Amino acid sequence: MYESNKKQLIERTNDDEINLIELFNILWSNKILIITVTFCISIASIYYSLILPNVYKSEALLKISDFNESGGQSLGQLGGLASIAGITIPSSQNDKSQEAIKRIQSFAFYSNHISPEFPPHYIMASAGWDNEKNRIIYNENDYNSISKKWVRPNKPNRKTTPSSQESFKFYQEMINLSQDEGTSFIKVSAKHHSPYMAQELVELVIKKINKTMRDNDKNTSEKSLDFLNNQLNKNNTEELKQAIISLQENQMKNLMFIEANQDYVFQVIDPAIAPEIKLEPKRSTIVILATIFGLIASSILALIFNYIKNKEKI
């Protein structure tokens, strides 16, 4: 029985070797086809990779403002007194940063603060960047750079001039935010065909989110002070008066810090720059992968042709 199993194993091994040799012979006999197809796909991938425009990424490293950390802690100690007076204490440091991130990613923030200064044709009609003239190359089928007007054809659910909702989708793809867990560091980055436009977009986002949240909190503090003044005039209880006065002092301190701090939510640790090195496309990777695909595809094609040829002989 042992001899029989050994004999079967040897026969199976020999069959595998024959199959491999036969496979090699089929591929070798079709080497012209394989080389031609692989070469054509490689040339096509080189051409394709060369016509792809460069994309640059600008990035800024931010830190949550020290004011939000210290201010949140000091106001948090008065939470009990604030609840007595019917006032909501401002968010904590982490809540502020999370709110800022969500705001940056929101349609309202884009349409109200980004779109007016970074118009849709910067985002949607860009087709490349002229390094020598330092200007965006536009897709002239969509946007006429001379007349500065949209010329793309009208289609169902798509007007000639893009809506804010349509351009917002492109903005979402361009901008990226990431927070380092365990620290207060946040990265804001933007991608664009122009390295200068990528830098400008990052700087604009940081500037606008600081101003927006600063103005909102300033408005809240001013309304809180008005409310506290009214409550102070209405109440005769000494304990409640002392609580309101303490809250007034902290709201005044809060308002003073708001007025004095331009970098209200985020402080820039490492500012955005116009990158000299492109992010993508990875042209060498495209060509290598396309060549491998061409080799595999042409080999499969050669085997199919050989199968059809042998079937016709039967």
Cα Dmax for the chain: 110
pLDDT of residue 57: 97
pLDDT of residue 67: 60
Q: What is the DSSP letter of 165?
A: H
Q: What is the DSSP letter of 112?
A: I
Amino acid letter for position 46: I
As a whole number of Å, the end-to-end CA separation of the chain is: 39
pLDDT of residue 262: 77
pLDDT of residue 43: 96
What's the predicted TM-score (pTM) here? Answer: 0.77
Reported residue count of the chain is 314
d(CA 195, CA 139): 18
- Tell me the DSSP string of 11-57: HHHHHHHHHHHHHHHHHHHTHHHHHHHHHHHHHHHHHHHHHSPPBEE
pLDDT of residue 90: 47
Low-confidence ranges of the chain (pLDDT < 70): 1-18, 66-94, 235-236, 313-314
pLDDT of residue 143: 96
Locate 300 and state its tokens: 């499969």
CB atoms within 10 A of CB 178: 12
* Helix 238-260, helix 195-234: angle, nearest 10: 160
| Helix %, strand %, coil % of the chain (to 5) | 65, 15, 25
CB atoms within 10 A of CB 46: 14
**Would you list the domain boundaries of the chain?**
2-50+283-313, 54-270
d(CA 212, CA 34): 61
Q: CB-based contacts of 220: which residues, under 8 Å, 6+ apart?
A: 90
